[in-house]
Chain A
Amino acid sequence: MTWAARLVGALLLGFVRLLTGAQARWHGCPPKAEQRIYFANHQSHADLVLIWAALPTELRAITRPIAAKDYWTASRLKRWITTKVFNAVYVERERKGDEDPLAPLIEALEKGDSLILFPEGTRGHAEDPQPFKSGLYNLARRFPEVVLVPAWIHNVQRVMPKGEVVPVPVLCSVTFGAPLVLGPDEDRPAFLARAREAVMALREV
Chain B
Amino acid sequence: MAGFLRHLSPSEQVSLLFVLVFGLLALASAAHLLITLRDGDTDEALSRRRQDERLLLRHSWAMAIVFWCAWVWGAGMAVVLFGLVSFFVLREFISASPTRRADHRSLVLAFFVVLPAQFALVWTRQADLFTPVYVFIALPVVSALRDDPQRFLERNAKLQWGIMVCVYGLSHVPALWLLDFRGWTGQNEFLVFFLVAVVQTCMLVQHLASRGEVPSAAPAISRSFHWRGWALGLLAGAFVGALLSGLTPFKPLPAVAMALVACAAGSLGHLMMKAIKRDRGITHWGLEGRSVTGAGGLLDRVDALCFAAPVFFHSVRWNFG
Q: In the complex the two chains form, is A171's CB within 8 Å of B287's CB? A: yes
B6 within 8 A of A: no
Q: In the complex the two chains form, is B92's CB within 8 Å of A171's CB? A: yes
Render A15-45 as a binary contact track against B, CB cut-off 8 A, 1 for contact.
Answer: 0000001011110000000000000000000
B91 within 8 A of A: yes
Q: In the complex the two chains form, is B104's CB within 8 Å of A164's CB? A: yes
Q: In the complex the two chains form, is B286's CB within 8 Å of A171's CB? A: yes
Render B61-96 as a binary contact track against A, CB cut-off 8 A, 1 for contact.
Answer: 000000000000000000000000001001110110
Q: In the complex the two chains form, is B287's CB within 8 Å of A23's CB? A: yes
Q: In the complex the two chains form, is A170's CB within 8 Å of B104's CB? A: no
CA distance A161 to B105 in the complex (A): 11
CB neighbours (8 Å) of B90 from chain A are: 169
Chain B interface size range: 10 to 19
Q: In the complex the two chains form, is A155's CB within 8 Å of B108's CB? A: no
CA distance A170 to B104 in the complex (A): 11
A154 within 8 A of B: yes
B101 within 8 A of A: yes
Please give me the residue from chain B that is nearest to A20 by CB atom. B91
Q: In the complex the two chains form, is A158's CB within 8 Å of B92's CB? A: no
Q: In the complex the two chains form, is B91's CB within 8 Å of A170's CB? A: yes
Please give me the residue from chain B that is nearest to A21 by CB atom. B287
A83 within 8 A of B: no
Q: In the complex the two chains form, is B292's CB within 8 Å of A169's CB? A: no
Q: How far is the CB of B157 from chain A (nearest CB, A)?
A: 18
In chain A between 162 and 183, which residues have their CB closer than 8 angstroms to a CB of chain B? 164, 166, 168-171, 173, 175
Q: In the complex the two chains form, is B111's CB within 8 Å of A168's CB? A: yes
CA distance A170 to B107 in the complex (A): 10
Q: In the complex the two chains form, is B108's CB within 8 Å of A168's CB? A: yes
In chain B between 37 and 58, which residues have their CB closer than 8 angstroms to a CB of chain A? none
Q: In the complex the two chains form, is B95's CB within 8 Å of A155's CB? A: yes
Q: In the complex the two chains form, is A161's CB within 8 Å of B287's CB? A: no
B290 within 8 A of A: yes
CB neighbours (8 Å) of A154 from chain B are: 290
Q: How far is the CB of B93 from chain A (nearest CB, A)?
A: 10
Q: How far is the CB of A10 from chain B (nearest CB, A)?
A: 12
CB neighbours (8 Å) of B291 from chain A are: 23
CB neighbours (8 Å) of A173 from chain B are: 287, 290
Q: Of residues A25, A26, A168, which shows the largest number of chain B Cβ atoms within 10 Å of its Cβ?
A: A168
Please give me the residue from chain B that is nearest to A24 by CB atom. B292
Also in contact, A169 and B87, with CB within 8 A (given A21-B287, A23-B287, A158-B99): yes
B193 within 8 A of A: no
B112 within 8 A of A: yes
In chain B between 101 and 129, which residues have their CB closer than 8 angstroms to a CB of chain A? 101, 104-105, 107-108, 111-112
Q: In the complex the two chains form, is B95's CB within 8 Å of A168's CB? A: no
CA distance A168 to B87 in the complex (A): 11
CA distance A169 to B286 in the complex (A): 12
CA distance A169 to B287 in the complex (A): 12
Q: In the complex the two chains form, is B91's CB within 8 Å of A169's CB? A: yes
CB neighbours (8 Å) of B112 from chain A are: 166
Please give me the residue from chain B that is nearest to A155 by CB atom. B95
Also in contact, A168 and B92, with CB within 8 A (given A25-B290, A154-B290, A173-B290): no
Seed contacts A168-B108, A169-B94; 8 additional CB < 8 Å A-B pairs: A23-B290, A25-B290, A25-B292, A166-B108, A168-B104, A168-B107, A169-B111, A170-B94
Partner-B contacts on A (CB < 8 A) = 21, 23-26, 154-155, 158, 161, 164, 166, 168-171, 173, 175
Q: List 8 A-B residue pairs with CB atoms under 8 Å apart, sorted by A's residue number.
A: A23-B287, A23-B291, A25-B290, A25-B292, A161-B104, A169-B94, A169-B111, A171-B95
